[in-house]
A = this chain, B = another copy of it.
Amino acid sequence: MPDGIIAINLKENELMINLDANRKTPLYQQLYEQIKQKIISGEYPKGTRLTSTRKQATDLCLGRNTVENAYDQLCVEGYIKSRQGSGYIVIDVTSALLELSGIVDVEPTTITASNSVYEEDLFQQNHFPSACRIAFRYGEMDYRTFPHTLWRKATAKVLSQTNLEDLYSYGDKQGEMPLRREITRYLRHARGVRCSPEQIVLGSGFQDLIRMICLLLKTDRATLAMEEPGYDFTRILFQHHGYAIAPVNVNSMGMDSAELQNSEASLAYVTPSYQLPMGVTMPIQQRMQILQWARKVDGTVIEDDYDSELRYRTQPIPSLQSIDKYERVIYLGTFSKAFAPGLRMGYMVLPSRLLPAYHQTFERYKSNVSRSMQFVAAEFMISGQWEKHLRKISLINKKKRDILVHTIQSEMSDRVTIHGQDAGLHILLELNTTKDNQHMVDLAAQHGVMVSSTQQFWYNRKNAINSMVMLGFGGLSGDEIVEGIKCLRHAWFD
C-alpha cells in the first residue's frame, strides 16, 4: 500500500456485474453505471478497492479498454481514485449523498485549497497585430465543420412549411415548444438533466440568459460567488446589473466549498464540467457540497455547462443539475460552442421553484431569438442531425487536441506543463520560465502567433500569477496547430 491515508477494504472479486451486450448503451457505460450505483448505495463503502482492470476484463469477458474507460469515468467524476500500485479505491461520497437526501445533517468537509493560481490578460483580440499567421483564439470554432448544406435544407423546409404567423409574429417568450421539447430530450440523455419543456428558456446566447438571471434573482444586496479565477464576462454582466462579486478560490476540485460557506453570497456561478479557465472537473463530493450550501442558504447555483459536449478522455460528466434534488440549480447551455455562435442561441433550465417569479418578471418580455431560426434548430434536432454533428465535432476536436498536446510535448518537452487537456476547446500552458507573462505573449505575437494572457480571469488581479498562457484551438486546423506550436517554441525557447 503506497500510503496510509485511506483504509482499504480489499473486496476483490466481489464485483458481480451483469452487462447486457444487446442494450444500446455501450458496455463500458453499463459497467460504469453499475459500479456507480453500488458506490452511491453504500454497497461499496469508502476505501473499497475495485477489482483490477485486468481481472475485471477477464471476469466479465470484456476488453480491457472497456473496463478502463468505465474506471476512468468514475475517476473523473470523483467516485474512485487511482492509487499507484494499489489500483482503484472508492472515495467517501455517501455522507454527502445522504445529507443531500435530507436524511443526515453533516458539517461540510473542509477542503484544502491548492491555491494554484496564475495570471494574465486575454481576449484582447482587437489589439493584436494583423500580421499574425496563427491565432490560438479562445471561443472560436472551425466553421468548415458546420453542417451548412443540411442547415440550408432545414431552413428551406421550415420557410416553406411553417405558417406565416408562426414564422413572423411574436413567439413564446420562453422559445418555441418544438425546440424546447428537443432540448429537453437531448439534455436528459446527454447530460442527465431532468426537466420538462416548461422549464426551458431560450435566449440569444450566454449574455441574454445571464441578463435574465440577473433580473430574475436581483435583490437589494445581491452578491454573486464566482470561481477565482473565473469567466470574466460573467463577472462583467453581473456587475453591470448591480451585483457585488465574491471571489471564491478554485482548487484542484473546482470552487472551494469551504470558502463558499464563508461568503456573503446566496448565488454562485460555477463551471463544474470544465472549470473556465483552469480545466478542472468538479468531483461528485464537491458537487454535493455546493448543492448543500445552496440548500442551506436558500440560494441558487448557476451551472454553466459550456463545452460539456466536448470531452476527450471520458464521457461527458453528468451535470450538477442531474443530482440536484432541491431545485437549486439553473442550468445553462449553449449552441455556440458545439454548433455556431452566429446563430445566437442558447438555453437555460430553470428549477420549477423559480418559474412563478420568471413568469411575473418577464410577463411583458419577448424572446430575443429569431423564430424561424428556432424552428430550423428544432428541425435539425428532430432529424437526428444535431447529435450526429456533435459526435463529428467531438472527434474532430479530439484529434486537434491530440495534435496540439503531442506537438507541445515533442517541441517544448519539459519546459511547459499542459493543463485542462481533457475537454473543451482550450488548454493552459504553464511556462517554466521566470520571464514576465505579458513578455511571453508579446514574444509570441512578434513571431506571428496569438496566445492569450489569463490575468483578467482573476477578480483580484494581484493574485494572478505570471506563468500561464491560454491557447484556444477550436478555430484552427491540425496543420495550423503544428505550425503555431513550432513558432511558439521558436519565439520562447530558441
State the A residues within 8 Å of B (CB). Answer: 123, 139-141, 143-144, 146, 148, 151-152, 155-156, 159-160, 164-171, 204-205, 207-208, 211, 215, 232-233, 236, 240-242, 336, 340-344, 361, 364-373
Contacts and interface: CB of A to CB of B under 8 A. Distances in A.
B364 A343 contact: no
A136 to B, nearest CB: 16
Contacts of A141: 168-169
Contacts of A341: 168-170, 366
Contact of A168 (B165, B340, B369, B370): B340
A262 to B, nearest CB: 28
Given A164-B146, A164-B148, A343 B370 contact: yes
Nearest to A344: B370
A368 B205 contact: yes
Nearest to A144: B164
A242 B435 CA distance: 46
A10 B373 CA distance: 62
Contacts of A139: 170
A443 to B, nearest CB: 25
Nearest to A340: B168
B169 A159 contact: no
A344 B202 CA distance: 13
Contacts of A205: 366, 368
Nearest to A341: B170
A240 B167 CA distance: 29
A159 B155 contact: yes
A336 B170 CA distance: 9
A358 to B, nearest CB: 13
A118 to B, nearest CB: 21
Contacts of A171: 342
B144 A169 contact: no
18 contacts: A140-B169, A141-B168, A141-B169, A148-B164, A148-B167, A152-B159, A152-B160, A155-B155, A166-B342, A171-B342, A204-B204, A204-B369, A204-B370, A207-B365, A208-B368, A211-B211, A232-B364, A344-B366
B367 A344 contact: yes
A207 B362 CA distance: 11
A366 B164 CA distance: 29
Contacts of A340: 167-169
Contacts of A159: 148, 151-152, 155
A367 B341 CA distance: 10
A344 B368 contact: yes
Contacts of A344: 204, 366-371
Contact of A368 (B152, B204, B236): B204
Contacts of A165: 143
Nearest to A336: B170
Contact of A373 (B152, B241, B367, B370): B370
Nearest to A167: B342
Most B C-beta atoms less than 10 A away, residue of A146, A204, A371: A204
Contacts of A336: 170
B155 A168 contact: no
B143 A366 contact: no
A392 to B, nearest CB: 15
A367 B143 CA distance: 19
Nearest to A203: B368
A342 B242 contact: no
Most B C-beta atoms less than 10 A away, residue of A166, A241, A367, A372: A372
A165 B164 CA distance: 29
A232 B371 CA distance: 25
Nearest to A240: B215
Nearest to A367: B344
A485 to B, nearest CB: 23
